Every structure is written in structure tokens, then in C-alpha cells.
């Protein structure tokens, strides 16, 4: 398959006419062909109109048809073969092993959503049967299911060119819910986007679905994205990226004549708390494990451990020494884009220049371009509490150790944190009381709490929450990873006093789809 | 119990110092004592600070303790006795029968939420057990439950002084979820609010809960309300009222440094479609039943049938004649407030003056003050399609019959409607095909679809959806009536690799609370 540089508007492949995007190999700053000419507002309108035309048809397809569609996409992505991995490596600087793993996750989550919609829990079926003899008034038969919200705009993420991009978690959950998807490709990996986009486009055709179920647009700058979010046929937005980008989309969505939900996963520094007894007994191994998590994927994860909170002690000094040595030996890694590299430089320089912040260690640097050099800082809790800037995300392998006088001060630090995706406690049996005190605070601050593990590495499963209070995301009531992500693109509808043959299959009295239902208050 | 005119800030009863509110008996425009002096921004701050201090304690109370609290509120409300009904009658112009029914619904929904939280479905427990031997990487144990969002601001509604006011559906669902509540009383029924507020305040004390679980504030104008929604300790807002009011709160909530969800139930004209065969066979009874629904509670329901859509035919003429006669015989009813009465006059006059709109009938008028005189209009579909104003809500007993050439035109009319709470089809077996065509459109437009019943009368149960696409509500993903309303005030949290004794009871491995759980993808 050759790359064409074309947008995919339904089954049409269309060249843009605006400013071209070129992928850049971040390891050597070389420009990669082809040119991806930017789309116009009219292209956005075409894609959204097709999506709207497809909506009623697609959402009324049987669950089985949608499940097969998701599985076909996965198969088509696998069938691209090594071309996809090679192009993604060139565009992202990520390693083969990482991208092969990410492809596995991408196809795995498409198949998991197929399984999820077949299981039917997502419909949240509720039935209250008629009570014709109830006094003083009878009760009508009332049945609830969930239906798709409408066409969804998805913005590809830079840091997961497969798993959170064109066919990533947002797209998979929206398609699973019955929503057509219009993707704005991330400008850092247009070729990867085209390859995956064509896999979806082909699956639409193979499954005889209306073409508007999927479109893929390109555009430099913000016009395509903002036009997409403003479009009246778009009913929800999925985004993973910067806080500036996410909050800009939230504003656009709120200023529409019909405001729509924006699911923006924005930034998080993921505090890791080392409780005293655990630290006392394992300072050296904790230091090494921490740096291992910190340096994974050049730290370009939403769940990167950007903050370590611990109480001053000889054990903490050993932890610092161990982490310092590990950082000093850490190899540099190519960052995703020159822009992300520049932002990383700027953010670590800003932190380094803050009063009372110590630079503990820097990692090695190779002569390649856009190299992320690991940075480890430390600061006294009191100075952290007095400087909001120290809560800024440094997107890359950089972290700050916050040294506290005692557990009360550690609790103060945690209480002052902004909303986060994750928080982690390292603890043993003797730390139980401290852990319990901190958990009450952490529950209010984060979407996922980990014990004795590391926040990088997000499992795709039913129980996962990859979300959290603002500003880690725009909407703490949801998750963007795992099967519960489907609820972002659904809303409930109640059917009152329907003749059975007019009811959707999911809520017919005979329960032909064999779904779990809440009937008259009891789980069936 | 004498009315004191005081605000309830936790267990403190406090007189305001700003402009006084007086209730007005709308039947005679007489002012009712006492004066309710308005609160200050400092009062808002006190209530929110107490709510915040109560939050961690309250949300961590056992489900059983919260359930008993809800039941105690219900009991305390019942114990106020006739004083409550009498004061509510004086303040609202509603009848004794209606208010006694509404008290029953209010206490019933408090008890239903007690039952709901005991049943535990609201926690949406999901467990993915550890897979220590999985290749290439093991899976950690992951468990999800839902927790309370934080203190909630609730705005009392004018049209349900009990069931959607101080202890109404928003308060009941927020308290059930584990959220403290700060209520801004509706200025139309401050005495009813004080009585119910004291019933909650007393229940807080009886149940040994932290006092900040509930506060009640008064204020003329918008300052108290906007300060409340802006307050950093408030994490969600429940509101039922006008579109202007709801959209203003949405803007305030979005402009906070931490945006929060607003659940505003705003306006709806609730189209009723009369399908041809049903109309042909029952024009007379349908006309009468329609006017019966239209005139209930002086039409002051969110689900009042403000639009009838039907195809021109001799049967439609009979329906119109029947409805006209019923309207002409309909007694006027006292509206909730002089302001609502004036707004009703203005809105029916505006509709009457629209080009091509015919006034079919007006009801009777009694000499009392603020009397809602039923109005029935008709208009050709083509003229309806060309005049957006005809979709404005007339809050009161007023409705428009839209006369269509054929089913295609009826579908066009429906397609052009804004989002609605409800839509209704009157149909028989011969109308099945038309019904199926319309349902695909209606599902996209509304939260509840009814067959052969009338939208007024909203059942409080598991399957109810009292919600719908914007602008009927601010958030179509939820309902404000029924047990699913609790989800508005919850968010998911994931617990990774926790030792069992540190897990919340709801997700402990032994399932001590006997909850329904999704374990490794299977419903348990």
C-alpha cells in the first residue's frame, strides 16, 4: 500500500488544498513524504454530513454487525503488516517493540469492545413492568436502554500513534456505541493515520455499512479541529493532548448553540507516595523501579510518575542516591516530535530555575536529534507548597522528589495537588494507618489509585479508570481507557407503554438478546 | 412549628441581611409573612465550607447509614403534617390534592433512593482479577467502584415546591450518592422551603451526621445562586427552571477555574403525534384526553403537551372540535406566581400574533388573581416550519396543533424540533409502519417516548428518563427523575493491586455487601 497523502471522506479519497503537513522523523529531523495537504471547512462539512446520514442506519445495526465491524478493523490493521510499524517508527521515534505492543493493544481493544457490546451491559437495561391495578394511579410499562449520542469527533494523540489515534480507544468506544466517527489526524503521524484510516475505510465497505461511519481529515493549525467541534452534526468530542488544546476545545463546544460533551484527557503528574516503613526497607530497589517507570517511552505517558512524595529520612537519602545513579545511567530516547522536545527542554529549564529546587541528576545524551535527557529534581515540601509552577507537567522523563517533614506535611502536599489521573502508594503492613489517612484524600484527587505498582502501563479492561478530576481530564465522570469508555457516547432513552413488537430487541419482554436486566428493581 | 425566616447553615439558623423575599399567595396577591432576608456571599462561603468539611465523613458513611438518613428525612417531612400542605398551598396556588400527592412522591423518592443505594447497582462494581502468569506482562488486580463527586448546589424549582425543591429529586439523589447539598430556596415558596429544610436539618442531627451535609440559603436576584455555583467547594449543580436560568448557570460553571457539571432541566414542548388510523377511530376521545393532560396543574409541567402533530383529515377536524369544546369548558387555575402568570400572558399573546396562527379556543376565567386561561392554537405545518418562535415554550396550559399535509411533512416537523423531554405517539396496529419511521427520528430528539399515554405524570422508578437532548436539558446523558439520577453525582475510581483489607467494603474480594459485580467480564 502506497501512501497517497489523501484524506478519507467516507469512501472518497480526497486531496486537501491547504497548507501541507509533512511527518518528520524525530531521530534525524528528516522530512517524510508524502505531503498531506490540509482540508478545508467544506471537507469538514462533507465528512460531518456523511456521518450524520450514516448515524440512524449505523446505530440501528445489530450489535453483532457492529461487533464484526470492530473485529474487521482489527484484522485489517494487522494485515497492513510491517509497513505500519515501520512508518510509525519513522514518524514517532518510538521503538519497534513498543509499536508492536501498541498495535497489539489497539487491535485487542477493538476486539474487547466487540465482546463488550455483545455482552450488553453497556445498554443498562431497566424494566419497570406495568401495574394496572396500582392505586391511586396505575403504572405504565417503562423500559430504558442506552442509545448512541451521534457523530463523534476524535483527535489523534501524539503519544499513542496507534492506541490513542485513528483507531484508538476513543474511536473504538464511539464506534462500539453506535456513533460514526470523524478523525482529525495528529500532524505528527499522518502516514500512520492514513494506513490505519484505510483499514477502517475498507472495513466499512466489507461490512456494508454506510460510508459516513468513518472519515479522516488532515489540517495544519487549528481550523479543521475547531470547525469540526463547531459542526452541528457532531455530538461529542474525544481528545488526548495538552491542557491548552483540551480547554480550547471545551470552550468551543460550550459556545455552540447546542453545547456538546468534550472528553479531553489533558495532563497529570501522577504523584507517587513512599510510605515510611516500605521506604525504610526497600530504598534502593524503589529508587531503581521508580526510574525504570520514569524513563519508559521517554516519559511520554499521561501516567508518568512526575512527583515523588516522601518523608525525610536516611532511607529517603538512599532512595535518592539509588534514583540518582539510575538516572545518570539512563540512555536518552528520541522524543515524539521536535515540538515536544522543545517543550520538554523549556519545562525542565523552568523547573531548574525555580528557587529552592535542586537538580539531583541528569541522564545520558546520545548524538541523535530530539533526545529526552532524564531529569530528576528535589525540593522541600514547604517550597513546593509555595510554588504552583512546580505542579506543571513536564511531558517527558522528568520528576521531582518532594521531601516532607512528616506525614502531616505529606498530606498537605497531596491536598494541594490538582486533579490527577493516578496516585500511587508504596507501602507495607506497617504503613496501613498512614495509607488509610491518605486514601481519603487521594480518592478525591484521582481516577486510579495504585498500591506497590507503577502508574505507567494502563490495562485495558472493565475495571480500568483512565480519567480523573479536572484538569487531568475535562470530565471526571468517565474513563478513556477500558470498556466503561463506551458510556461517554451513550444516553438513556425510556420507552413508555410500548407494544412489544415496536420495542427495540434489547428491551423486548422475552429478552431475545439474553441481556442482564434490572427488572422491577431486581437484577435478572 | 413557627416560620422564622432564617437560613439554615448546617445546624445554625441565621438571619440574612440583604433584600427580603416574601412569599405571595398567587390566588389573591397577598404577601405572606415572615420576611426571608437574603443571604450574603459570606453565608454561601460558610455553607460551602461546612459542606466540604462534611464531605469525606459523609461519603464514607456506610450505605445503611445514608439510607436511614434518607428515610429519616421522609419521616420528618411527613411529621410536619398539615402545616406543610397549608403553607405550600398558600405559596403556590396548587391544590391540596396535588400537594398531598406531591408530598407522597417526595417522601416516596427519598425512600426509593434508600432502597436503591442498599441494592448497590449504583456502585457499578467491576473486578478484573490479577493474572500473575499472563504473558508478556502480568495483570494486576483492578477494581472499580463509584464515589461521590463532592458538595452539590441544588436550586429549588417553582413548579414542584416539594418534589423538585429542597428535599426533591436533585437533593435526594445527591445525598444518596454521598454528596452534601447546599440548596438555594426558590423565592416563590420560602416558607415551604424552611419547613422542609428544617426536616432535613433535624434528620442530620438525629443521624449524627456532620452538620455541613445540608444547608439552605435564601436570596433575591442572582447573587446567591451565582456565588454558589462559582464556589470552589461545589462540584456539581442541579437545577430545574427556565432556559435563561439554566444556560446562565452553565456559563458560570464552565468559566470556573475547575469547570463542573450542571444538570439543568430547562424547557420542553413535548410533541404529541396522532397517527392516522388511531385518530380516525378515536378523534373525540383523543381530543378530550389531550385537554385533560394539557390543563393538569395549569399546564405548569415540564412535560406539558405543548404541540400536537397530525395529518389534515375529517378526523382531525373532529379532534379539533372536541379539544376546542373541552378547552372552552376548562376552568382557569391559579398559576404558581404572578411572574409566571405574566410570562404566560406574554407568551400566548406572542403566539397569537404570529402570522398564520389561529386561536381555536380559550378556556374560562375566574375572578381570582393570576389565572391561567387555557389556550389552544392551530397552524399549518408549512408555517410552523418557517417560524422558529412557534417552538418557544408557553409555560402553562397552552398548546398548538400542527396540521400536516402528509406523513412526510409530519416527519419534517419532527426533524426540525429542538431536543425535548418527551414525545408521544397515539397509534393503533394499522399505524405501525408510520410509527416505526417516526421512532428513528424521535429517539434522537427526546429522552422518553410514550405510546398511547400522556406525557404529564412522571413515574419515579428505575427505567424513567426525565431528560433529553439540549435545550430540554443541559446534559442528555442523564435523568433528573428516577433512580438513575444518582449517576449524575458519581464518578468511577479504580483500585489497583490493593491488599484486601485496604479496599472499600464494596469491592473486597469476599463481597461482604453482596453486590452485583462484573467479574472478569461476567455478571456475578
Which string of DSSP letters, residue by residue, matches B461-508?
SSS-----STTSBS-TT--SSSGGGGGGGEEEEEEES--GGGS-GGG-
pLDDT in the model for residue B1: 61
Report d(CA B292, CA B285) in Å as an integer.
Answer: 10
For residues B235-261, one letter each, b for 16 or more C-beta atoms within 10 angstroms of the residue's C-beta and e for the rest, the string is: bbbbbbbbbebbbbbbebbbeeeebbb
Same domain, B78 and B214: yes
Same domain, A336 and A221: no
With H, G, I as helix, E, B as strand and everything else as coil, classify residue A264. strand
Same domain, B241 and B275: no
Report d(CA B437, CA B411) in Å as an integer.
Answer: 8
- What mean pLDDT do residues A59-82 have? 98
- The catalytic residues of A are 265, 302
Nearest to A431 by CA among A401, A403, A452, A404: A452
pLDDT in the model for residue A100: 98
pLDDT in the model for residue A1: 61
pLDDT band, very low/low/confident/very high, at A457 (cuts 50, 70, 90): confident
Q: Which three cell numbers stand for residue B31?
A: 404577601
Same domain, B88 and B136: yes
pLDDT in the model for residue B293: 97
Can you give the CATH number for the domain in which A400 is found?
3.40.309.10
B358-362 and B307-311 beta bridge pairing: unpaired
Site from B492, B503, B515 to mutate, A interface, most A CB atoms within 10 angstroms: B492
Asked if the structure places residue B498 within a domain, the reply is no
Q: From the candidates B48, B107, B179, B302, which is the catalytic residue?
A: B302
pLDDT in the model for residue B458: 94
Same domain, B201 and B282: no
Same domain, B351 and B259: no
Set of chain B residues whose Cβ sits within 8 Å of the Cβ of A121: 518, 523
Same domain, B258 and B289: no
pLDDT in the model for residue A417: 97
Question: How many folded domains does chain A comprise?
Answer: 2
A463 has pLDDT over 80: yes
pLDDT in the model for residue B136: 87
Asked if the structure places residue B470 within a domain, the reply is no
* pLDDT tens string A185-213: 999 999 999 999 999 999 999 999 999 99
Residue B400, number of CB atoms within 10 A of its CB? 25
Nearest to B31 by CA among B39, B22, B44, B21: B22
Task: State which residues form the domain around B327.
Answer: 271-451
Beta pairing partners, A361 = A376
Edge-to-edge, what's the strand order for the sheet holding B307-311?
Answer: A522-523, A517-519, A125-128, A142-148, A490-496, B446-451, B420-426, B271-274, B307-311, B398-404, B375-380, B358-362
Asked if the structure places residue A214 within a domain, the reply is yes
Inspect the interface and report whether the beta carbons of A447 and B496 lie closer than 8 Å.
no
Can you give the CATH number for the domain in which A89 is found?
3.40.605.10
Same domain, B26 and B158: yes
Task: Say yes or no: ipTM exceeds 0.90.
Answer: yes
Inspect the interface and report whether the beta carbons of A449 and B495 lie closer than 8 Å.
yes
Same domain, A215 and A316: no
Set of chain B residues whose Cβ sits within 8 Å of the Cβ of A453: 140, 496-497
Report d(CA A276, CA A259) in Å as an integer.
Answer: 48
Same domain, A177 and A300: no
pLDDT in the model for residue A2: 82
Distance in Å, alpha carbon of B446 to nearest chain A alpha carbon: 8
Are the C-beta atoms of residues A107 and A78 closer than 8 Å to each other? Answer: yes
Beta pairing partners, B128 = B142
- One pLDDT digit (tens) per residue for chain B, 524 residues: 689 999 999 999 999 999 999 999 999 999 999 999 999 999 999 999 999 999 999 999 999 999 999 999 999 999 999 999 999 999 999 999 999 999 999 999 999 999 999 999 999 999 999 999 998 899 999 999 999 999 999 999 999 999 999 999 999 999 999 999 999 999 999 999 999 999 999 999 999 999 999 999 999 999 999 999 999 999 999 999 999 999 999 999 999 999 999 999 998 999 999 999 999 999 999 999 999 999 999 999 999 999 999 999 999 999 999 999 999 999 999 999 999 999 999 999 999 999 999 999 999 999 999 999 999 999 999 999 999 999 999 999 999 999 999 999 999 999 999 999 999 999 999 999 999 999 999 999 999 999 999 999 899 999 999 999 999 999 999 999 999 999 999 999 999 999 999 999 999 999 999 999 999 999 88
Option in A261, A447, A475 nearest B494 (CB): A447
Same domain, B177 and B251: yes
Site from A494, A501, A519, A522 to mutate, B interface, most B CB atoms within 10 angstroms: A494
Nearest to B490 by CA among B70, B146, B175, B54: B146
Site from B252, B496, B501 to mutate, A interface, most A CB atoms within 10 angstroms: B496
Report d(CA B394, CA B301) in Å as an integer.
Answer: 11
pLDDT band, very low/low/confident/very high, at A136 (cuts 50, 70, 90): confident
The greatest distance separating any two alpha carbons of chain B, rounded to the nearest whole angstrom, comes to 82
Option in B121, B465, B490 nearest A494 (CB): B465
Distance in Å, alpha carbon of A360 to nearest chain B alpha carbon: 30
The count of CB pairs under 8 A between chains A and B is 210
Are the C-beta atoms of residues A72 and A204 closer than 8 Å to each other? Answer: no
Inspect the interface and report whether the beta carbons of A128 and B462 lie closer than 8 Å.
yes
Asked if the structure places residue A476 within a domain, the reply is no
Q: What angle do CA A265, A122, B173 make, to 5 degrees?
A: 80
Report d(CA B327, CA B292) in Å as an integer.
Answer: 9
Residue B365, number of CB atoms within 10 A of its CB? 12
A434 to A286, A288, A424: CA distances (angstroms) = 18, 24, 13
User: Which H or E run contains B318?
Assistant: helix B314-329
Inspect the interface and report whether the beta carbons of B459 and A495 lie closer than 8 Å.
no
Percent of chain A with pLDDT over 90: 98
With H, G, I as helix, E, B as strand and everything else as coil, classify residue A99. helix
Same domain, A281 and A223: no
Inspect the interface and report whether the beta carbons of A126 and B477 lie closer than 8 Å.
no
* pLDDT tens string A493-514: 999 999 999 999 999 999 999 9
A262-265 and A181-184 beta bridge pairing: unpaired
* pLDDT tens string A117-131: 999 999 999 999 999
Report d(CA B122, CA B345) in Å as an integer.
Answer: 43
User: Cell 399535509 maps to which residue?
Assistant: B405
Asked if the structure places residue A442 within a domain, the reply is yes
Distance in Å, alpha carbon of A428 to nearest chain B alpha carbon: 10
Which runs of E-coded beta strand occur in A15-72?
Answer: 18-25, 30-38
Asked if the structure places residue B467 within a domain, the reply is no
Asked if the structure places residue B286 within a domain, the reply is yes
Beta pairing partners, A217 = A184
Alpha helices in B81-146 (DSSP H): 82-92, 96-119
pLDDT band, very low/low/confident/very high, at A394 (cuts 50, 70, 90): very high
Asked if the structure places residue B513 within a domain, the reply is no
User: Which H or E run contains A475?
Assistant: none
Amino acid at each position: 500500500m502506497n501512501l497517497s497523502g489523501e484524506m478519507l471522506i467516507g469512501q472518497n479519497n480526497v486531496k486537501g488544498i491547504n497548507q501541507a503537513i509533512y511527518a518528520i522523523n524525530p531521530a534525524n529531523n528528516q522530512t517524510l513524504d508524502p505531503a498531506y495537504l490540509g482540508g478545508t471547512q467544506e471537507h469538514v462539512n462533507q465528512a460531518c454530513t456523511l456521518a450524520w446520514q450514516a448515524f440512524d442506519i449505523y446505530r440501528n445495526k445489530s450489535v453483532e454487525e457492529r461487533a464484526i465491524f470492530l473485529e474487521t478493523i482489527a484484522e485489517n490493521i494487522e494485515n497492513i503488516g510491517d509497513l505500519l510499524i515501520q512508518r510509525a517508527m519513522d514518524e514517532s521515534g518510538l521503538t519497534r517493540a513498543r509499536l508492536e505492543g501498541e498495535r497489539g493493544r489497539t487491535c485487542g481493544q477493538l476486539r474487547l469492545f466487540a465482546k463488550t457490546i455483545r455482552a450488553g451491559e453497556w445498554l443498562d437495561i431497566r424494566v419497570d413492568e406495568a401495574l394496572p391495578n396500582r392505586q391511586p394511579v396505575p403504572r405504565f410499562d417503562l423500559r430504558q436502554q442506552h442509545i448512541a449520542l451521534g457523530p463523534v469527533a476524535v483527535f489523534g494523540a501524539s503519544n499513542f500513534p496507534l492506541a490513542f489515534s485513528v483507531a484508538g480507544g476513543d474511536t473504538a468506544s464511539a464506534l462500539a456505541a453506535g456513533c460514526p466517527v470523524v478523525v482529525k489526524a495528529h500532524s505528527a503521524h499522518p502516514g500512520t493515520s492514513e494506513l490505519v484510516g484505510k483499514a477502517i475505510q475498507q472495513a466499512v465497505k466489507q461490512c456494508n455499512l454506510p460510508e459516513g461511519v468513518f472519515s479522516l481529515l488532515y489540517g495544519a493549525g487549528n481550523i479543521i479541529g475547531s470547525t469540526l467541534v463547531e459542526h452541528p452534526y457532531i455530538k461529542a468530542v474525544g481528545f488526548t493532548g495538552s491542557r491548552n488544546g483540551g480547554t480550547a476545545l471545551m470552550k468551543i463546544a460550550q459556545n455552540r448553540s447546542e453545547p456538546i460533551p468534550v472528553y479531553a484527557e489533558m495532563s497529570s503528574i501522577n504523584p507517587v507516595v513512599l510510605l515510611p516503613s516500605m521506604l525504610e526497607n526497600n530504598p534502593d530497589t524503589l529508587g531503581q523501579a521508580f526510574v525504570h517507570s520514569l524513563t519508559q517511552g521517554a516519559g511520554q505517558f499521561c501516567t508518568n510518575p512526575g512527583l515523588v512524595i516522601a518523608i525525610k529520612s536516611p532511607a529517603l537519602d538512599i532512595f535518592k542516591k539509588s534514583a540518582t545513579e539510575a538516572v545518570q545511567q539512563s540512555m536518552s530516547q528520541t522524543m515524539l516530535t521536535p515540538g515536544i522536545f522543545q517543550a520538554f527542554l523549556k519545562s525542565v529549564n523552568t523547573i531548574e530555575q525555580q528557587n529552592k529546587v535542586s537538580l539531583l541528576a541528569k541522564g545520558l545524551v546520545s548524538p541523535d536529534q530530539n533526545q529526552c535527557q532524564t531529569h530528576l529534581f528535589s525540593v522541600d515540601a514547604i517550597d513546593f507548597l509555595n510554588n504552583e509552577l512546580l505542579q506543571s507537567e513536564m511531558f517527558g522523563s522528568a520528576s521531582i522528589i518532594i521531601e516532607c517533614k512528616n506525614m502531616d506535611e505529606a498530606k498537605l502536599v497531596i491536598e494541594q495537588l490538582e486533579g490527577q489521573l493516578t496516585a500511587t502508594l508504596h507501602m507495607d503492613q506497617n504503613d496501613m494507618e498512614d495509607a488509610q489517612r491518605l486514601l481519603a484524600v487521594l480518592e478525591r484527587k484521582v481516577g486510579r489509585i495504585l498500591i506497590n505498582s507503577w502508574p505507567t502501563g494502563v490495562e485495558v479492561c472493565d475495571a480500568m479508570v483512565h480519567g480523573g478530576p479536572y484538569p487531568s481530564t475535562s470530565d471526571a465522570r468517565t474513563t478513556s481507557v477500558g470498556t466503561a469508555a463506551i458510556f461517554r457516547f451513550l444516553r438513556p432513552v425510556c420507552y413508555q407503554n410500548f407494544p412489544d413488537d415496536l420495542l427495540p430487541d434489547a428491551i423486548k419482554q422475552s429478552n431475545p438478546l439474553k441481556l442482564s436486566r434490572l427488572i422491577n428493581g431486581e437484577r435478572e
